[in-house]
Amino acid sequence: MDLAPTSPPPHAPASAPPGDLAIWFFILAELLAFGVFFAAYAFARARNVELFDSMQLTLDRQAGALNTVLLISGSACVARAVEAVGRARSTTGARWLLAGIACGGGFLVVKGFEYADKLGAGINLSTNTFYMFYLSLTFFHFMHVILGMVILVALWFKTRQGAYGPADMNGIESGAAYWHMVDLVWIVLFPLVYVMR
């Protein structure tokens, strides 16, 4: 009779995602909110195709693409940070986190210029349906980038102090997952709002 303990085989899939389970419920709730927002935008466009297509031409697509590059790179930096901390390289991890924060800062600056340009041209939420969606949807995302950066700064401080390591990845993995969610949402937002017509 085999009395060996029933442990999972060595390459069995992990039962839970990296980080705290609570952050994943939070991420799913955020994704649900963004998903409803995206669908609302797409169906509003279906009823105002000419307006949406002509207003889309007034957006700065280069700025949108640059911001995609910044968020993707920021996400890559944070993934590298988690990988470094997982190998007990806290100093390297902290540097990658700082690079991720710089990418997020770059995103906010570029988006800030876009907002300044539009607001300077007298555009606001009541200009038309397209701009109501553009401003509210992108600003909703903008606020998430700010929250993500606050989390990254907190992770940076703690990583510098050596608070995380191979035996304690929970905090850094949770914060990183949130940051990647901000990137994931923009990956849908950029083509939907700036390119698709």
Partner 1 sequence: MNTRHLNTVWVVLLLATLATFAIGETGDMLGITGPVAMLLLLSISIVKGRLVVLDFMGLRGVKFFWRSLLIGWLLLVSALIAVAYWIALK
- Applying CB under 8 A, which residues contact partner 1? 13-18, 24, 28, 31-32, 35, 38-39, 42-43, 45-46, 49, 61-62, 65, 68-69, 72-73, 75-76, 78-80, 82-83, 173, 176-177, 180-181, 183-184, 187-188, 190-192, 194-197
**134 touches 60 (CB < 8 A):** no
How far is 112 from 114, CA to CA, in rounded Å? Answer: 5
Q: Min. distance of Cβ 39 from partner 1 in angstroms?
A: 4
User: Which is nearer to partner 1, 40 or 119 (by Cβ)?
Assistant: 40
**Residue 90: Cβ within 10 Å count:** 20
Nearer to partner 1 among residue 37 and residue 142 (C-beta): 37
Report the nearest approach of partner 1 to the CB of residue 115 (Å). 20
Q: Between 3 and 16, name the residue whose CB sits nearer to partner 1.
A: 16
Q: How far is the CB of 37 from partner 1 (least distance, A)?
A: 10
53/124 with CB nearer partner 1: 53
CB of 38 to partner 1, least distance (A): 5
What distance in Å separates the CA atoms of residue 194 and residue 197, rounded to the nearest whole number? 9
DSSP, collapsed to helix, strand or coil, labels residue 57 as coil
Q: For residue 127, give every residue at least 6 positions away whose Cβ sits within 8 Å of its Cβ, in sequence order, or none.
A: none
Q: What is the dihedral of CA 105, 110, 113, 119, to 10 degrees?
A: -100
119 vs 147, which CB is nearer to partner 1?
Answer: 147
Q: Is 161 exposed, middle or buried (0-12, 13-18, 19+ CB in 10 A)?
A: exposed
* Nearest distance, CB of residue 146 and partner 1, angstroms: 20
Smallest gap, in angstroms, from Cβ of residue 5 to partner 1? 21
Measured from the CB atom, the residue of 119 and 188 that comes closer to partner 1 is: 188
What's the CA gap between 70 and 93, in Å, rounded? 19
